[in-house]
Amino acid sequence: MEGGPGTGAGPRSAPGFSLPTEPLVRRRNGLLVSTAGSGGRIQASRPGDPSRIGPYRIIGRLGSGGMGTVHAGLAPDGLRVAVKVIHSAQAEDADFRARFRREVELSRRVQGPCLIPLLAAEPEASPPWLATAYAPGPTLNQHLADRGPLTGGTLYAFAAGTAQALAAIHAAGVVHRDIKPQNVLLTPACPRVLDFGIAHATDGTSITRTGVMTGTPGWISPEHYRTGTAGPAGDMFAWGALVAYAATGRLPFGTGAPDVVAFRVMSGEPDLDGMPGKLREIVEKCLAKEPADRTNAASAAEECALLLASQDTQVLGDGAGLEPTRVGELVTAQWDMPPLDDPAWPLPPTRSRRRTVAAILAAAAVVGGIAGGALALPSGTENTTHDAADAQVTPGETNAPRTGPAPSGTGTAKPSADPRTVGIPKDPLLGVSDPAYTRADDPAQPSYDEWRASTAAAGPEEKDVEEAIRKDMTSMLATKDMDFMKPIVTFNRRAQTVMVTGGPISTLTDDYKEVFGRTGAMAACTALAHRLEGAPTTWPYGRYYVLWKDFDGQTEPTFLDFGQATAGCLPETAGQWQGGEAGLATAAMPSSDKAEIRVADTVVEAVRTAWNTRAAGGQHGLIPFGRDDSISLGFDPVEKAAYVWAWDDPGALVGRAQKSQFQQLVSKTVCQEMAAEYDRNENWNYTRWSVAVYQGNSGVAEFIGSGTCTAD
């Protein structure tokens, strides 16, 4: 089928419809919806992940995207590294491998301040990989959403450092072509420009596909819109917009539909109100409509360095010929970002990862064991292979589970008066000697060829599973006002894989795609687990593959997730559910569900009042939180969890005892309120909780407790 699956669905076509591109803001008392930055926090490795790549020992994941998976690694000398491994589907494409090889060549050319150095690469390996130094920190987008615009010396250091990075890129004969807030990390050392995935050499040797507009709306130069030209001057236009955004927190050409933003870029004036005068002059030159009128990167770096030096009352003469090393020294001197660390990184280079993980699990068990509160679930729901909290119910339906266990006659779970008590099978093929699904031990990712060969549901069983996945995803997405993203479900019997494809919407931001990927994976895993348990000797599908199409006819859409329903559908540590960065990021998005908003407001107010009352009474040396909005709560509909996070500016949660008290207070309060909602609202299916703390100015969440509200 031409173009692969997904031709039957398109974007919502309301006039002027566009997705938000600005940082989300606080909507209600209990629902803070700014993006929670990961800052490079390590996630657990997944089944099939390598234990070693080249010389690097792999200790977990840092993230995953359309090109590949980024693993956290340790060099033999203990140096922390990020190792990007290309997805197998892309690695099989000769054209893609050539582009990756070119990316490695260009990255090796570029060295300089405020860049992330390439340490090693094997473009001919199977699969190809490259390793860079590990750089923790939030992106500019995340920092602005969490902390607001940059000011003073930090702003000038940001401008000088990013301009110097571009100067080094351009001096190496390379054009970046994708300068935007998501591609700048605010590390403790300096701002760092990253992502050469669509860069190309100024000699015309491109590593991108011809005929495709590269870049992101709002960060594309006028000449690129008009003629497709992308040179160093285009990078400087995007740099000017980047610095303006960092200084004001506003997109200089506004938001809206891509064609509207493009018109403003080509014909309108940027919004620079509030920028410091001298810096504004530099930025205005870079935002000139004609490329020849813009300042080059080296000159912009020198001019910003002079402004930076004035913050330190240093005298540099006229600044002519300022050396790059001097610019770097000034940036380092004025840059003000808190140090970040992730306790999952082993401290001594030789420390055993098993020992580290065991220590973390022991600490988690201690914290989780003292949690109070209970959720009054119906009796008789405990099961060694099912979690009673895993059932899902479509709003408005009272008689059928949302995920739809296999129809009667297939041997599925017995009907229940309350469909929320139907759990997800954790090992649906346990004890089955001759299952129809035979790829349970195959960790390989599905390929694009398998996706392109997939077809629409055929027969009642496949149609039932398709309907279950679509209903489950729609229900989850609706709580975040994202149900305009309509999944297309197709099947490849030879590959024993169910494909879930979204799109086509070209302007969808990464956070929206992340939520679509998570809902697709959970819905597919849940439906397949039920079907495998109900008909293990006849149902052949056990794998799922989730992708996103940016346009019709796209043959290699963005990879979002894949997995198997035989490996469990929820993240667990030592058999217990644990909250994580992905769930927290989803929970931080705005909710459109009235019950969620009501519960969030009630819990946040109760926790804040109880904590401040204890602090006022001098209990155990507690101190109150500094702001009324220090505590927030949001819901992750994918894992059915409530996330509570605190912005701890005054240091109220610095000590272990204070964190323990806060975690106990939150878990007890949230479980009591969710129990009440569970009893009065047949569509309420949140039964898990997780608590996180942001210390000071840190953009990294520290998880201090997670659990499931259990019956008395």
Return the active site residues.
Answer: 178
Contact 470/526 with Cβ under 8 angstroms?
no
Q: Given the structure tokens 């060099």, which residue do they identify?
A: 75
Phi and psi dihedrals of 377, rounded to 5?
-85, 160
- Would you say the C-alpha torsion 533, 539, 543, 545 has a positive or negative sign? negative
Measured CA distances, 173 to 86, 170, 202, 557, 564 (Å)? 25, 5, 5, 30, 44
Cβ partners under 8 Å of residue 296, min gap 6: 167, 170, 232, 233, 236
C-alpha–C-alpha distance, residues 290 and 292, integer Å: 6
Say how far residue 144 (Cα) sits from the centre of its chain.
16
Three-state SS string across 223-272, please? Answer: HHHHHCCCCHHHHHHHHHHHHHHHHHCCCCCCCCCHHHHHHHHHHCCCCC
User: Identity (one letter) of the amino acid at 492?
Assistant: N
Say if residues 131 and 204 touch (Cβ distance below 8 Å): no
Is the distance from CB of 555 to CB of 491 less than 8 angstroms?
no
Tokens read off for 311? 């913050």
DSSP states of 624-658: --SSTTSEEEEEETTTTEEEEEEEESS-TT-SHHH
Neighbours of 139 (CB within 10 A): 21
Residues with Cβ within 8 Å of 566's Cβ and at least 6 positions away in sequence, in order, are 427, 428, 429, 437, 440, 529, 532, 542
Would you give the DSSP letter of residue 629?
T
**In Å, how far are 73, 81, 100, 121, 444 from 43, measured between CA atoms?**
12, 14, 25, 23, 20
Classified as helix, coil or strand, 236 is helix
Which secondary-structure segment (H or E) carries 631?
Answer: strand 631-636
Decide: helix, strand or coil at residue 119. Answer: strand
Rg (CA), the chain: 26
Strands 576-577 and 80-86: unpaired
Q: Are 267 and 277 in contact (CB under 8 A)?
A: no
Q: Would you call 507 exposed, middle or buried from its count of C-beta atoms within 10 A (0-12, 13-18, 19+)? A: middle
Indicate the length of the chain as a whole number.
Answer: 712
Burial 596-625 (b: 16+ CB within 10 A, else e): bbebbebbbebbbeebbeebeeeeeebbeb
- The residues near 402 (Cβ < 8 Å, ≥ 6 apart) are 391, 392, 393, 394, 419, 471, 472, 475
Both tokens of 384, joined, read 């060694």
Tell me the three state secondary structure of residue 454.
coil
How far separated are the first and last CA of the chain, in Å rounded? 54
Write the DSSP string, 415-450.
P-SSGGG-PPPSSTTTT-SS-S---TT--PPPPHHH
* Helical packing angle, 324-334 and 297-311, nearest 10°: 40
Contact of 552 with 3, CB cutoff 8 Å: yes
DSSP, residue by residue, 481-499: T-TTS--EEEEETTTTEEE
Distance between CA atoms of residues 168 and 711, nearest Å: 60
φ/ψ of residue 576, rounded to 5: -115, 140
User: Among candidates 59, 88, 27, which has minimal Cα distance to 442?
Assistant: 88
